[in-house]
């Protein structure tokens, strides 16, 4: 490890050994005792060897399987995969106001993610629909996602019963529990309860997914100044301790199970006590989380198009771009919240979604870099054009222009005097949204799997008609 990372690691080991982590789950505490971890009450104290020995069991990379094999992804190494927003309660209306999210918003966002070539992961909590029962949401949203997409699946967090139903649905989609265990079909974020706790529901969800061989993302979100020290070094050390304890626990439950080192920590705005995800502190936390994961040989999750803006604006653009640039250049493997988020994770904005596609396109073009070879150096073309010549009509230009030059999605490169205002930009965004939704094509899903899922959910008094009507 580099010296700065080693200092953070050493501090995390002190926290785990001297302060400990509180686990609100008796079965977990018994498991920790069985593995030699010192437990006092509900607090577990880990030695460095207990942590590092378990980390060594976790794979450095793994494959997440999609229904359509062309969308399956490898999580780990230097590969970055974008995933949608997660958990927003509200939807921005484009005028600085918000409304509660609805199931139709979930469907629309699922269509947009399926349509976009930047994404090979879909689902989770694209929004939290206010018009379906809360306790039924995780299985119903998975059913909805299975109809909307053939990409890799993200699961929604839920209580023990809802989690059990989600896993049963995954067994149906996979064609059996044995197949599900052998080939991970879904990934789910597991949040810690900072500082230094994991609650019953998170632990129950962790145990169920891990026992079924499905990858989890252990994701602390410590806020400097409120749930962690105001100094970023202390907050990062604290969050690192939480992540490592959760990963070690996963390996005790099922050695070798895929697990992702998640890191969502940031600063609090001490003027209000609220979370701040658009500032430079957030980007620093992203960077250190990625580097720590790499030092431990673990796949990473973090970052995204983070911003605190209440509406589509210059602020939402520059904050999202800064956060996503750091995310991409630090080679984070799995990027939740990579598009559409606003208001410090509280809302999704359709307009911000299109903004996000523009940001991703620009970043991906920059990351692709410049190819240098005889064809791209174009000496023959330069000689042919000569001094004072032109290149616009050359075959070389026609041959390369679509791949070499980034074409903006909605950005305008206008001349002085050309009329263009904010309202025109929003009209362009709406036209793009309407075109994407109109061109969306629902992927195939076997009638057998569909009927089995419907029967299973109906048997548990969960009405799938609310989804089916939206997808007719």
pLDDT on residue 428: 87
d(CA 268, CA 281): 9
* Residue extents of the structural domains in the chain: 3-55, 61-367
pLDDT on residue 267: 96
39, pLDDT greater than 90 = yes
> Of 317, 322, 303, 302, whose CA–CA distance to 349 is shortest?
317
Class of residue 421 by CB neighbours under 10 A (exposed 0-12, middle 13-18, buried 19+): exposed
What pTM value is reported for the model?
0.95
Helix, strand, coil proportions of the chain in percent (round to 5)?
A: 50, 15, 35
pLDDT on residue 420: 67
431, pLDDT greater than 70 = yes
Coil vs helix vs strand at 125 = coil
Contact 12, 289 (CB under 8 A): no
422, pLDDT greater than 90 = no
Tell me: the pLDDT tens digits for 47-67? 999 999 999 999 999 999 999
Tell me: the pLDDT tens digits for 231-272? 999 999 999 999 999 999 999 999 999 999 999 999 999 999
Tell me: the pLDDT tens digits for 329-371? 999 999 999 999 999 999 999 999 999 999 999 999 999 999 9
pLDDT on residue 2: 79
HEC assignment per residue over 228-239: ECCCHHHHHHHH
pLDDT on residue 413: 74
Window from 190-194, 225-229, 307-311, 393-397 with minimum mean pLDDT: 307-311
* Residue appearing with tokens 């789950």: 25
CATH assignment of 61-367? Answer: 3.20.20.480
Indicate if the alpha-carbon torsion angle 356, 365, 78, 443 is positive or negative.
Answer: positive
Task: Give the confidence band of 417 by pLDDT, cuts at 50, 70, 90.
Answer: low
DSSP structural state of residue 219: E
pLDDT on residue 425: 79
């Amino acid at each position: 490890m580099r010296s700065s990372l080693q200092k953070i690691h050493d501090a995390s080991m002190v926290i785990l050994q001297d302060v400990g982590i509180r686990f609100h789950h008796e079965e977990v505490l018994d498991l920790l005792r069985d593995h030699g971890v010192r437990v006092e009450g509900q607090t577990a104290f880990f030695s460095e060897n207990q942590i590092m020995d378990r980390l060594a069991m976790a794979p450095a990379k793994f494959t997440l399987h999609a229904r359509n094999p062309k969308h399956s992804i490898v999580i780990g190494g230097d590969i970055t995969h974008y995933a949608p927003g997660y958990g927003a309660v509200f939807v921005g209306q484009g005028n600085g106001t918000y409304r509660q999210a609805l199931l139709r918003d979930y469907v629309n966002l699922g269509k947009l993610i399926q349509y976009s070539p930047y994404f090979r992961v879909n689902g989770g909590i694209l929004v939290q629909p206010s018009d379906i029962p809360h306790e039924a949401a995780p299985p119903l949203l998975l059913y909805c996602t299975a109809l909307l997409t053939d990409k890799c699946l993200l699961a929604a967090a839920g209580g023990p019963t809802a989690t059990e139903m989600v896993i049963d649905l995954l067994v149906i989609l996979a064609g059996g529990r044995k197949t599900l265990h052998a080939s991970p079909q879904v990934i789910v974020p597991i949040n810690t309860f900072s500082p230094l706790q994991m609650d019953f529901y998170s632990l129950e969800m962790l145990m169920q997914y891990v026992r079924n061989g499905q990858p989890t993302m252990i994701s602390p979100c410590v806020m400097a100044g409120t749930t962690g020290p105001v100094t970023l070094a202390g907050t990062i050390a604290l969050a690192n301790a939480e992540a490592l304890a959760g990963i070690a626990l996963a390996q005790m439950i099922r050695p070798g199970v895929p697990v992702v080192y998640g890191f969502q920590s940031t600063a609090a705005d001490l003027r209000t006590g609220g979370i701040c995800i658009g500032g430079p502190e957030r980007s620093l936390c992203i960077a250190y989380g990625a580097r720590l994961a790499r030092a431990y040989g673990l796949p990473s999750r973090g970052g995204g198009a983070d911003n605190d803006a209440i509406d589509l604006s210059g602020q939402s653009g520059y904050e999202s771009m800064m956060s996503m640039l750091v995310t991409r250049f630090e080679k984070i493997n799995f990027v939740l919240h990579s598009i559409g988020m606003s208001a410090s994770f509280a809302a999704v904005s359709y307009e911000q979604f299109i903004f996000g596609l523009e940001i991703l396109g620009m970043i991906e073009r920059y990351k692709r870099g410049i190819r240098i070879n005889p064809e791209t150096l174009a000496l023959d073309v330069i000689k042919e054009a000569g001094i004072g010549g032109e290149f616009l009509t050359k075959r070389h230009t026609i041959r390369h222009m679509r791949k070499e030059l980034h074409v903006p999605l909605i950005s305008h490169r206008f001349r002085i005097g050309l009329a263009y205002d904010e309202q025109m930009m929003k009209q362009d965004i709406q036209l793009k949204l309407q075109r994407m939704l109109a061109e969306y094509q629902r992927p195939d899903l076997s009638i057998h799997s569909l009927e089995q899922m419907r029967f299973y959910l109906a048997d548990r008094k969960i009405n799938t008609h609310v989804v089916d009507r939206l997808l007719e």
